[in-house]
Amino acid sequence: MSSALRLAVIGGDGTGPEVVAEGLKVLGAAARKFDIEVSTEDFNVSGDRYLARGGDPKTPSIPVITSEEIQGFRRFDAIYLGAIGHPDIAPGILEKGLLLRMRFELDQYINLRPVKLYPGVDCPLKDKGPKDIDFVVVRENTEDLYCGAGGSLRRGSPQEIATQESITTRFGVERCCRYAFELARQRKARGYKGMLTLVHKTNVLTYVGDLWFRTFEEVGRADYPDIQRDYNHVDACCMWFVKNPEYYDVVVTSNLFGDIITDLGAMIQGGMGIAAGGNLNPDPGGVSMFEPIGGSAPKYTGKNVINPMAAIGAMAMLLQQTGRHKSDESLTRAGDAVEAAIAQACPRLPSLSAGRMGMGTTEVGDLVVSLL
Ligand code: IPM
Ligand code: MN
DSSP sequence for 140-179:
E-SSBGGG--EEEESTTSTT-EEEE--B--HHHHHHHHHH
Element (H, E) at 7: strand 3-12
Q: In terms of DSSP H, where are the helices of the chain?
A: 16-34, 47-52, 67-72, 93-94, 101-105, 170-189, 208-223, 234-243, 255-268, 309-325, 329-345, 361-371
Q: Name the pLDDT band for 369 (thresholds 50, 70, 90).
A: very high
Is residue 300 within 8 Å of 132, Cβ to Cβ?
no
Write out pLDDT tens, residues 221-241: 999 999 999 999 999 999 999
Angle between helices 361-371 and 16-34 (to 10 degrees): 20
pLDDT > 90? residue 296? yes
Average pLDDT of 333-346?
A: 98
Q: What is the number of the ligand closest to the CA of 98?
A: 1
Q: Mutation test of ligand 1: which of 100, 101, 254 has the most ligand atoms closer than 8 Å to its C-beta? A: 100
Rounded average pLDDT over 340-359: 95
Asked whether the predicted pLDDT for residue 294 surpasses 90, the reply is no
pLDDT band at 2 (very low <50, low <70, confident <90, very high): confident
Q: What is the mean pLDDT of residues 104-132?
A: 97
Please state, in angstroms and rounded to a whole number, the distance separating the CA atoms of residues 279 and 277.
7
Q: How confident is the model at residue 160 (pLDDT cuts 50, 70, 90)?
A: very high
Confidence of residue 220 (pLDDT cuts 50, 70, 90): very high
Show Cβ contacts of residue 97 under 8 Å, excluding neighbours closer than 6 positions: 50, 60, 63, 64, 65
Question: What percent of the chain has a predicted confidence (pLDDT) above 90?
Answer: 98
Q: Give yes or no for residue 95 CB within 6 A of ligand 1.
A: yes
Residue whose CB lies within 8 A of the most ligand 1 atoms, among 96, 99, 108, for a mutation test? 99
Check residue 82 and give its pLDDT.
97
Indicate which atom in ligand 1 lies nearest the CA of residue 255: 12
Mean pLDDT of the chain: 96
Cα separation values, 214 from 89, 143, 144, 250, 334, Å: 42, 18, 17, 18, 39
Q: Is 19 helix (H, G, I), strand (E, B) or coil?
A: helix
CB 323 within 8 A of CB 315: no
pLDDT for 1 beyond 90: no
Residues shown for the chain: 372
What number of CA atoms fall less than 13 Å from residue 143's CA on the CB side? 18
Residue 192 phi, psi dihedral angles, 5° rounding: -80, 175
99 CB within 6 A, ligand 1: yes
Burial class (CB in 10 A: 0-12, 13-18, 19+), 242: middle
User: Measured between alpha carbons, how far is 212 from 266 in angstroms, rounded to an integer?
Assistant: 25
Torsion, Cα of 136, 141, 146, 147 (10° steps): -160
Q: Output the pLDDT for position 335.
A: 98
What is the distance between the alpha carbons of residues 317 and 256, in angstroms, rounded to a whole number? 22
d(CA 196, CA 138): 10
Ligand 1 nearest atom to the CA of residue 263, by list position: 10
Q: Does the beta carbon of 246 sit less than 6 angstroms from any atom of ligand 1?
A: no
- pLDDT tens, position by position, 69-91: 999 999 999 999 999 999 999 98
Confidence of residue 100 (pLDDT cuts 50, 70, 90): very high
Q: How many CB atoms lie within 10 A of CB 113?
A: 25
13 Cβ neighbours under 8 A, 6+ residues apart: 46, 47, 48, 82, 83, 84, 85, 86, 94, 296, 298
Average pLDDT of the segment spanning 270-281: 96
pLDDT higher than threshold 90 for residue 324: yes
C-alpha–C-alpha distance, residues 354 and 366, integer Å: 17
Rounded CA gap, 49 and 2, in Å?
37
- Identity at 336, one-letter amino acid code: D
Among 212, 141, 226, 248, CA closest to 182: 226
Q: What is the pLDDT of residue 15?
A: 96
Span 298-307, average pLDDT: 95
pLDDT of 180: 98
Cα→Cα distances 140→164, 253, 259, 280, 289, Å: 18, 6, 9, 10, 15
Give the whole-angstrom CA distance, residue 136 versus residue 125: 18
For the chain, the maximum distance between any two Cα atoms, rounded to a whole number of angstroms, is 68
* CA 163 to ligand 1 centroid distance, Å: 20
